């Protein structure tokens, strides 16, 4: 996202089942630390069992040693898009399109902190809790997970 102070980059980890953003990080630079921070948040929140499949694009931050070590430490399986196959990452790309359309293009951010707060609020308060998704039978990600949990008890 462009701000008056320069770019603010966002990395996310999206749970494919409910389309919930389970990890995210923001920074002025797009690097392996950004991807590692988003992954760390997701792993801490979800505490997945070994064998978790983590899919990403072929961008350098996601293929970096630090991220690959995190995945290995949690016995997660790394999966990357095939070269030239942008549709492999369509769900994440759809989220970024939605974010830009519903939030980013509607505002001019003077500072990175202003953008960071708006994005945090969008993800935590709106996208995960209230925004309905056709892939979730028009439930929010949180409602989709609650419906699944109710079937497991």
Q: Which two tokens stand for residue 106?
A: 């509607």
* Confidence class for position 87, pLDDT limits 50, 70, 90: low
Q: Which two tokens stand for residue 102?
A: 């519903």
Asked if CATH classification 3.30.420.10 holds for the domain at 2-151, the reply, yes or no, is: yes
Distance between CA 3 and CA 8 in Å, rounded? 7
Distance between CA 74 and CA 146 in Å, rounded? 25
Q: Which strand (E) or helix (H) includes residue 3?
A: strand 2-3
Instruction: Please say if the pLDDT value at position 50 is more than 90.
Output: no
Q: What is the pTM of this model?
A: 0.88
Model confidence over 53-76: pLDDT tens digits? 887 766 677 777 888 899 899 898
Q: How far is CA 109 from CA 69, 98, 135, in A?
A: 35, 18, 31
């Amino acid at each position: 996202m462009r701000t008056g102070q320069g770019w603010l980059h966002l990395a996310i980890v999206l749970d494919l089942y409910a389309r919930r953003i389970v990890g995210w990080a923001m920074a002025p630079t797009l690097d392996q630390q950004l991807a590692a921070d988003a992954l760390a948040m997701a792993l801490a929140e979800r505490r997945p069992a070994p064998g978790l499949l983590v899919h990403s694009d072929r961008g350098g931050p996601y293929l970096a040693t630090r991220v690959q070590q995190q995945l290995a430490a949690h016995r997660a399986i790394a999966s990357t898009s095939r070269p030239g196959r942008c549709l492999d990452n369509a769900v994440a790309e759809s989220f970024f399109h939605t974010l830009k359309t519903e939030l980013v293009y509607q505002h001019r951010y003077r500072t990175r902190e202003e953008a960071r707060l708006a994005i945090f609020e969008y993800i935590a308060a709106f996208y995960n809790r209230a925004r309905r998704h056709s892939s979730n039978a028009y439930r929010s990600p949180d409602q989709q997970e609650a419906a699944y949990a109710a079937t497991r008890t």
